[in-house]
Amino acid sequence: MWRDLWLFLKALRRHLAGLLTGAFLTGALLFWQYVLKKGDIPTWVLGVAAGAGLFVSGFNAWREEHAKVMTEAEGELRDLASSMVETYVVLAQSRKDERPHALATLNLAALGSDDLIRKTIHRMDQHIGRDPWQGWASFVEDVDLVKFFAWVREHRPNLHTMHVDEVAKQVKAAGGSRTA
């Protein structure tokens, strides 16, 4: 806990401007009240002024850390997608497995984003020069591919014998339609 508190205080220090703004505003209000004697400022107003600076600094520190975490997570997803492309290319080039059945073995749902899955499959197509969907892509245009591949992983249909359009219908019936 103390380590986390120390890290938080260091992050706040990097956003000293917000803290100083709150302190300056509080000081200005106190100057107005006690030196210039221009009025009686309620204590809560002074608290809000000081708290505003702390809030702004805290928010900026959080935003900075959040951006780091998101950038790191996006990098990990890109790496995972690249690994899936490489695995698919090896499968397809060896002709051991390819097309929709091979896609189903990759756990593409782990990418967590319909858009990222579509980009990954497009990269597979570019690498091997053959449609990974084997002409079935039009049947999944309006299907959320995260839900599609999660459904495939859970139900394990044999995509050598069961066609993509049949799976797509079942996924849509289970609420897996793609939102635009």
Residues (pLDDT < 50) of the chain are none
**Is the whole-model pTM more than 0.95?**
no
Predicted local distance difference test score (pLDDT) of residue 93: 83
Q: Among 55, 71, 87, give the residue marking a domain's end.
A: 71
Predicted local distance difference test score (pLDDT) of residue 114: 92
**64 with 102, same domain?**
no
**126 with 164, same domain?**
yes
Domain of residue 136, residue span = 97-173
Q: Is residue 42 part of a domain?
A: yes
Question: Would you list the DSSP string of 12-77?
Answer: HHHTHHHHHHHHHHHHHHHIIIIIS------HHHHHHHHHHHHHHHHHHHHHHHHHHHHHHHHHHH
**108 with 169, same domain?**
yes
Predicted local distance difference test score (pLDDT) of residue 120: 94
**62 with 105, same domain?**
no
Predicted local distance difference test score (pLDDT) of residue 36: 81
Predicted local distance difference test score (pLDDT) of residue 177: 87
Please tell me the number of Cα atoms within 13 Å of 68 on its side-chain side: 6
Predicted local distance difference test score (pLDDT) of residue 122: 94
Predicted local distance difference test score (pLDDT) of residue 180: 54
pLDDT in tens, 138-167: 999 999 999 999 999 999 888 777 889 999
**114 with 159, same domain?**
yes
**61 with 108, same domain?**
no
Predicted local distance difference test score (pLDDT) of residue 129: 87
Predicted local distance difference test score (pLDDT) of residue 23: 82
How many domains, in total, are found in the chain? 2
Q: Is residue 81 part of a domain?
A: no
